Structure 1
Amino acid sequence: MREIAIIGIGAGDPDHLTLQAIAAIQRIEVFFLLDKGPAKQDLVRLRTEILRRHARQAYRLIEAPDPERDRAATAYPAAVEDWRRRRGDLYARLLSDELPDGGRGAFLVWGDPALYDSTLAVLDDLYTRQVVEFEYQVVPGISAVAALTARHRITLNRIGRPVQITTGRRLADEGFPPGVDDLVVMLDAHCTFTRFTAADRIDIYWGAYLGTPDELLLAGPVHEIADQIVTTRATARARKGWIMDTYLLRRTIGQATGQQARDD
């Protein structure tokens, strides 16, 4: 039976690896990497640097082009499902062609495999459908959310208060969720935070390229620094060709939003 490890490697710093992740890496014979194109070679270089530091055995590195996703599709869930299906077909071929029975392979997943990453879901689907025979384990990693709060020296939650994680798309469609004062937003290419005003009483803690030499951090009242974040983000993306960023919106507890105040 093939053995697969889905290993979380942290948000960008090679030192983010846990001892469990290092131990798992040192058991692996074949590592699978998805090539996301020339603009994102930094992501490949980080993974190869991690292997250089921590692998102690002979191993093979198998790279394959990542299937393109239709980011302009109006039917977002359908586009994601199509992308995941094509990724699943690719994974099935890689496991069948590159990993013999009894072999040990791994996917090195940015951040934590359980948070906004498709690798676990795709492999779980292949496992359930028995497309190719394998067993698998998941090694957790330091997520971008954990790295963000650590770098800003803040806690993710406040005493007795809920925290919600959402996407920029959902924030744009639904606004700030009722009953939530601490909202982590991921995958927000359109900088939805710019819609909030001084009346909303919201602070933002923003970070990009967390854990890397290119790390960017900004924090403050969102209505005061939104334009600075937009400019910083656009400049960084133009320079590198890609960007990974996330942010925490923190509403002052006990304060109604501007919309609520107007309604009252």
Structure 2
Amino acid sequence: MIALSLIGIGTGNPDHVTRQAVDEINAVDVILIPRKGPEKDGLAHLRREICARVLRGPGPALREFDLPRRDGSGDYRAGVDAWHDAIAEVWAAELAAALPRGGRAGFLVWGDPALYDSSLRIAERLRARMRLEVRVIPGITAIAALTAGHAIPLNTIAAPVTITTGRRLRAAGWPPGSDTLVVMLDGSNAFQHIDSEGISIWWSGYAGMAEELRIAGPLAEVASEIVAARALARARHGWIMDIYLLRRDCD
């Protein structure tokens, strides 16, 4: 039996790692650290840095491995499913090699494992390959870091909030039933493809981290500034994680 802990580590700021997460990191036998290619090596480095900050004594072994890349040439959903299957095969091989007699493994998940992260879906695929027990340690979400950084409430009074992706915003426009949107996983500045009249935006890159960038204002006035800042930050760091809130102006 392998016990796999999916440990939410917040947005990359070691100070956002909860005491529960610290205890879990110290309790496992091995921490799995994925590598996503040289252009995103900073993500693996941050995971190593967090471990160095919170480990008590020698702690668990750190085991790094390369993740397969997603084929983006065909149907999006089919490509994601195939990619998750491939990742599950890599996870299974790494767990078997690291814990041949069973034990406890930890996987440090950006933000929270339940919010726009596929770790739980990949872990579910592993159940068909091995005896696996899954434990989830919640983490501070990018949404919380976004609203805290801008010092704004997530919702207006008694009103709903829609959490969506850049892909869906670009393809389908503003979803009905909500005047507030939180947009995640947007690699193409989807806010440029909606009517900006009466819309305000609060954008954060590297939310919660020392490198955090924040831009806010009427969408029509700051959209080009966000696009330029995002491109510059990605060129400088080799990667970017950003998130933004859109709100219709209400009388």
TM range (shorter): over 0.9
Residues 82-97 of structure 1: pairs in structure 2 closer than 5 A: 82-97=82-97
Code of the residue aligned with 1:165 in structure 2: it is I
Identity among equivalent positions (%) equals: 49
Deviation at 1:27, TM superposition (A): 0.3
CA contact (8 A) 1:147 1:210 kept: yes
In structure 1, which of residues 183, 207, 212 is the aligned counterpart of residue 209 of structure 2?
Answer: 212
Spell out, residue by residue over 1:207-243, the C-alpha distance to the aligned partner (whole angstroms, 9 max, x if none).
Answer: 1112222211100000100000001111111122211
CA contact (8 A) 2:26 2:59 kept: no
Q: Distance in 2 between matches of 1:195 and 1:122?
A: 32
Residues 109-120 of structure 1: pairs in structure 2 closer than 5 A: 109-120=109-120
CA contact (8 A) 2:182 2:244 kept: yes
Over the residues paired in the alignment, what is the CA RMSD in angstroms? 1.3
Q: Distance in 2 between matches of 1:46 and 1:239?
A: 16
Which ranges of structure 1 fall in alignment gaps of 5 or more residues?
A: 255-264
Residues 69-218 of structure 1: pairs in structure 2 closer than 5 A: 69-71=70-72, 73-127=73-127, 129=128, 131-198=129-196, 200-218=197-215
Q: Secondary structure at the match of 2:168?
A: helix
Deviation at 1:86, TM superposition (A): 0.1
Deviation at 1:125, TM superposition (A): 2.3
Larger Rg: 1
**1:42 equivalent in structure 2:** 42
**1:260 equivalent in structure 2:** none
CA contact (8 A) 1:8 1:140 kept: yes
CA contact (8 A) 2:173 2:194 kept: no
Spell out, residue by residue over 1:176-207, the C-alpha distance to the aligned partner (whole angstroms, 9 max, x if none).
Answer: 11121010111111111123445x31100101
**2:54 equivalent in structure 1:** 54
CA contact (8 A) 1:197 1:222 kept: no
Which ranges of structure 2 fall in alignment gaps of 5 or more residues?
A: none
Q: Distance in 2 between matches of 1:230 and 1:149?
A: 20
Q: Secondary structure at the match of 2:27?
A: coil
Q: Secondary structure at the match of 1:211?
A: coil
Q: Distance in 1 between matches of 2:88 and 2:243?
A: 27
Code of the residue aligned with 1:84 in structure 2: it is H
Deviation at 1:143, TM superposition (A): 0.9
Q: Distance in 1 between matches of 2:159 and 2:26?
A: 40
CA contact (8 A) 2:126 2:132 kept: no
Q: Distance in 1 between matches of 2:194 and 2:76?
A: 25
Q: Distance in 2 between matches of 1:116 and 1:99?
A: 28
Task: Return structure 1 stretches of 4+ with deviation > 2 angstroms.
Answer: 195-198
**1:67 equivalent in structure 2:** 68
Code of the residue aligned with 1:113 in structure 2: it is P
CA contact (8 A) 2:202 2:245 kept: yes
Q: Secondary structure at the match of 1:7?
A: strand
Q: Distance in 2 between matches of 1:51 and 1:192?
A: 35
Q: Distance in 1 between matches of 2:157 and 2:100?
A: 51
Q: Distance in 1 between matches of 2:179 and 2:153?
A: 13
In structure 2, which of residues 229, 234, 241 is the aligned counterpart of residue 244 of structure 1?
Answer: 241
CA contact (8 A) 1:4 1:137 kept: yes
CA contact (8 A) 1:6 1:136 kept: yes
Q: Distance in 2 between matches of 1:79 and 1:187?
A: 16
Deviation at 1:102, TM superposition (A): 3.9
Q: TM-score w.r.t. structure 1 length? A: 0.91
